[in-house]
Amino acid sequence: VRAKIHLIRLQSSEILQTAQKVQSLVELTRFFEAHKDAMYTVAWIDCTQTGSRLGRSVFFAGEHGQERGKLEVHKKKSVPFPSIPFPVVFPWNIKVFNHLYYSIHASHTKPKHVHYDPFFFPLDRIGNWNRMYGRKGFIQYQCVFPKSVGLDPMVEVLTKVAKSGRSSFLAVLKYFGPENQNFLSFPMEGWTLSLDFMLHRELFELLTECDTIVARAGGRVYLAKDARLSKSHFQAMYPKFQHVMQIRNKYSIENLHSLQSERLGF
């Protein structure tokens, strides 16, 4: 196996970060467009909001620092989260967290230099943060919507999540560039939305409804984070899976499979 990895020569460990508070999803897409040449762009979305405030968010853009400085691995200073048998993520404190997160970043919009570690991994400021979901853990649902269909499908998913009462503790939006031609590749040109949910039996019905919206829009669910996608939705999202089947047959590896591939039917 051969692989080529493209590296970037860095001058320092810092990222020049720009943050901007955003009131709506449409306004957010304009910020992505205005910063399309930035090295990194990402947005946190308050997914407890509906109606005219749906898409209220904080947009971040980042560039590697150009001034020569220290190149050092960040020494993580995290607040450890205790090991407890029950979750501490509930609808009321999700709303509180989202309100505080928005308020804090809305008041710090001037460009500033930050270390790469908190820029790329903000949750790691809390050690073992996954424990907040309790022993059952959580599911991250990541999907992508093609740019060509507009924002309506994403609005439908965000509205459904907000009205379900199972709002995501952390919701992240990014923009993908052109897709490649690999048979099971996830990215396509458009918007990718990531949502973290505490694991609960009723959650699966909500996510299946989201799958239907995504598939109808011509989008996809990220297979690397999948644990419950149905065979029918998978085949609608990844129509090139038949090419994978042909390769498996060609090299007589039909018996090489996983629990996921059995569930998805390939």
3-state SS, residue 83: coil
- Return mean pLDDT, the chain: 89
Q: State which CATH number among 3.40.462, 3.30.420, 3.30.390, 3.90.1690 fits the domain covering 14-236.
A: 3.40.462
Residue 57, both tokens: 């968010």
Summarize pLDDT for 82-118 with one digit per residue, the tens. 777 777 777 777 888 888 888 887 666 789 999 998 8
What's this model's pTM, rounded to 2 decimal places?
Answer: 0.90
Looking up tokens 């919206």 gives: 213
Report d(CA 64, CA 66) in Å as an integer: 6
Q: Supply the pLDDT for residue 75.
A: 65
Summarize pLDDT for 185-224 with one digit per residue, the tens. 999 999 999 999 988 888 999 999 999 999 999 999 999 9
Categorize the per-residue pLDDT at 183 as very low, low, confident or very high, splitting at 50, 70 and 90. very high
The answer on pLDDT for 33 being more than 90 is: yes
Instruction: For 234, list phi and psi in degrees, rounded to 5.
Output: -60, -50
Looking up tokens 């505490």 gives: 198
